[in-house]
C-alpha cells in the first residue's frame, strides 16, 4: 500500500512546494495592498521563458540562473511601478483590472516572441537527474523542491519578523498613513514586497519547468490559479497559511491523479475509473468546502484590534 501511494505523495509534496513559492507572492501582495495580483502567474511563466532564451544565448547555467532570478524580481518591481502605483488611491477594482491587463500583456508579449510554440526548458544537471528513494524513482528536483521551499520560507519569515524592513512591511500592511507618520516610505516597502514575491516565483519556475520540460505563454495560468487557491485556502495575507495550503493542495491533487492506480492495487476497483480527470476540479471543491467552514482560511487574520 505504502509502496503504491509513496510516489504520488512525493510528487505531491514537490508540486506543493512549487505552488508555495508562487503562493507567497500572492499572499504578500494581498497583505500589503489588498490586491489580488492576477499578473503573478504570468511573471512565473515569463521567468520560464527568460530561462529558455538566456540559456539558448549560450550563457552557462551558473550565470543564467542568477540572471533569470534578478530579471524576474525586476519585472515584479517594474509592474508595480507602472501598473499599480499610479492607481494607489483609485478604487481597488481599478487596480484589479490593471492587474488583468498586465497579465494579458505579458502573455501576448511572450506569444509574439515565441510564435506560440512550446519552448523546451533547458535541462539543469543535478536537479534533472534521476534518484530512487524508498523504491520510488523520481527526478532530483522532486526532493530538492520541498527542502528549498522550507529554507526560503524560513528565511522570509525571519526577514519579516526580525529586520527593520520586515517590521516596516508589517506596519504598512496595517496602516499606510500612520506608517508614513513614522517616516516610512510606503512605495519602497511595496516595491520590496513585489521584488521578494517575484524572486520566489522565479525560483518556483526553475523547479516547476525542470519537471514539466516545456513553457508556453499560457503556462503560468494553471499553476498561478492553484497557488492563488492555496493562498486563499491558507488564509490570504498569511505566509505560513499560503505554504501549508500549497502543500495540502499539491498532495491532494497528486493523490487524486493516482487514485485509479491506488484503488486498483488495493483491490477496491477492477478497472480504471478515470478519476484523474477531476484533479483540478477537486482543488476548487476543496477551496469551497474550506471557505464554508472557515471563511478566513486556515490561518486567516486574527483580530486583535481593540477599539
Partner 1 sequence: MSLLKVTDLVVSYGGIEALKGIDFEVEQGQIVTLIGANGAGKSTTLRTISGLVKAADGRVYFEGRDITDYDTQKIVETGIAMVPEGRRVFPNLTVLENLRIGAYLRKDKDVIEEDIEYVYDLFPRLRERSWQLAGTLSGGEQQMLAVGRAMMTRPKLIMMDEPSLGLAPLVVKDIFRIIRTLKDTGMTVLLIEQNANAALHTCDYAYVMETGRITMRGTGEELLASEAIQEAYLGKKSQ
Residues that bind partner 1 (CB under 8 A): 164, 167-168, 170-171, 173-175, 177-178, 180-185, 304-307
Q: Which is nearer to partner 1, 144 or 186 (CB)?
A: 186
Q: Which is nearer to partner 1, 1 or 181 (CB)?
A: 181
Least Å distance, CB 177 to partner 1, is: 6
Q: Which is nearer to partner 1, 150 or 167 (CB)?
A: 167
DSSP class of residue 126 equals T
Least Å distance, CB 197 to partner 1, is: 19
Least Å distance, CB 302 to partner 1, is: 9
Q: Which is nearer to partner 1, 161 or 213 (CB)?
A: 161
User: Angle at the Cα of 295 (from 292 to 299), degrees rounded to 5?
Assistant: 125
Alpha-carbon span 47 to 42, nearest angstrom:
8
* Long-range contacts of residues 257-265, Cβ cutoff 8 Å, at least 24 apart: 257/8, 258/4, 258/5, 258/7, 258/8, 261/4, 262/4, 262/5, 262/8, 265/1, 265/4
Phi, psi values for residue 124, rounded to 5°: -105, 115
Determine the 3-state secondary structure of 300 from DSSP: coil
Q: Which is nearer to partner 1, 104 or 176 (CB)?
A: 176
Least Å distance, CB 260 to partner 1, is: 46
Alpha-carbon span 40 to 204, nearest angstrom:
12
Which residue, among 152, 184, 148, 151, has the nearest Cα to 169 in the 3D structure? 184
Least Å distance, CB 250 to partner 1, is: 29
Q: Which is nearer to partner 1, 171 or 286 (CB)?
A: 171
Least Å distance, CB 34 to partner 1, is: 15
Half-sphere exposure of 125 (CA within 13 A, CB side): 3
Amino acid at each position: 500500500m505504502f509502496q503504491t501511494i509513496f510516489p504520488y505523495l512525493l510528487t505531491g509534496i514537490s508540486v506543493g512546494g512549487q505552488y508555495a513559492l508562487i503562493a507567497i507572492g500572492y499572499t504578500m501582495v494581498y497583505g500589503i495592498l489588498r490586491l489580488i495580483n492576477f499578473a503573478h502567474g504570468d511573471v512565473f511563466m515569463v521567468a520560464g521563458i527568460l530561462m529558455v532564451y538566456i540559456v539558448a544565448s549560450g550563457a552557462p547555467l551558473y550565470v543564467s540562473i542568477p540572471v533569470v532570478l534578478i530579471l524576474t524580481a525586476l519585472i515584479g518591481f517594474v509592474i508595480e511601478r507602472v501598473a499599480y502605483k499610479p492607481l494607489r488611491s483609485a478604487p481597488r477594482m481599478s487596480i484589479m483590472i490593471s492587474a488583468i491587463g498586465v497579465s494579458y500583456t505579458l502573455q501576448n508579449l511572450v506569444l509574439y516572441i515565441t510564435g506560440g510554440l512550446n519552448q523546451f526548458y533547458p535541462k539543469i544537471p543535478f536537479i534533472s537527474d534521476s534518484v530512487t528513494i524508498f523504491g520510488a524513482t523520481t527526478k532530483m528536483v522532486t526532493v530538492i523542491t520541498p527542502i528549498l521551499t522550507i529554507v526560503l520560507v524560513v528565511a522570509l519569515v525571519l526577514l519579516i519578523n526580525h529586520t527593520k524592513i520586515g517590521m516596516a512591511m508589517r506596519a504598512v500592511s496595517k496602516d499606510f498613513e500612520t506608517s508614513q507618520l513614522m517616516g516610512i516610505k510606503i512605495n519602497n516597502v511595496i516595491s520590496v514586497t513585489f521584488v521578494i514575491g517575484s524572486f520566489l516565483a522565479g525560483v518556483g519556475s526553475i523547479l516547476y519547468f525542470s519537471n514539466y520540460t516545456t513553457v508556453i505563454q499560457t503556462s503560468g495560468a494553471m499553476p498561478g490559479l492553484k497557488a492563488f487557491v492555496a493562498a486563499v485556502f491558507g488564509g490570504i495575507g498569511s505566509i505560513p497559511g499560503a505554504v501549508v495550503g500549497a502543500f495540502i493542495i499539491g498532495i491532494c491533487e497528486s493523490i487524486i491523479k493516482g487514485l485509479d492506480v491506488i484503488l486498483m492495487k488495493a483491490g477496491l476497483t477492477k478497472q480504471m475509473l478515470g478519476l484523474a480527470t477531476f484533479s483540478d476540479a477537486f482543488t476548487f471543491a476543496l477551496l469551497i468546502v474550506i471557505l464554508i467552514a472557515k471563511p478566513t482560511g486556515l490561518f486567516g487574520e486574527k483580530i486583535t484590534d481593540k477599539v
